[in-house]
Amino acid sequence: MYPTKNDLPAKKREGLVEMLNLHLASSLDVMLQSKQAHWNVKGPNFAALHELFDKIKEAFVEYSDLLAERVVQLGGIAEGTAVVVAKRTPLKQYPLSLTDGLQHVDYFSDSLAAFGKAVREAIRTSGDEFGDQDTADICTEISRGVDKWLWMLEAHLVGK
pLDDT in tens, 68-86: 999 999 999 999 999 999 9
Contact 18, 130 (CB under 8 A): no
Q: How many CB atoms lie within 10 A of CB 115?
A: 26
Q: Where are the domains of the chain?
A: 10-157
pLDDT in tens, 107-153: 999 999 999 999 999 999 999 999 999 999 999 999 999 999 999 99
Reply yes or no on domain 10-157 having CATH 1.20.1260.10. Answer: yes
Contact 43, 158 (CB under 8 A): no
Distance CA 98, CA 89 (A): 20
Burial of 137 (0-12, 13-18, 19+ CB in 10 A): middle
Q: Which residues have C-beta within 8 Å of that of residue 40, sequence separation ≥ 6? A: 98, 99, 104
pTM listed for this prediction:
0.95
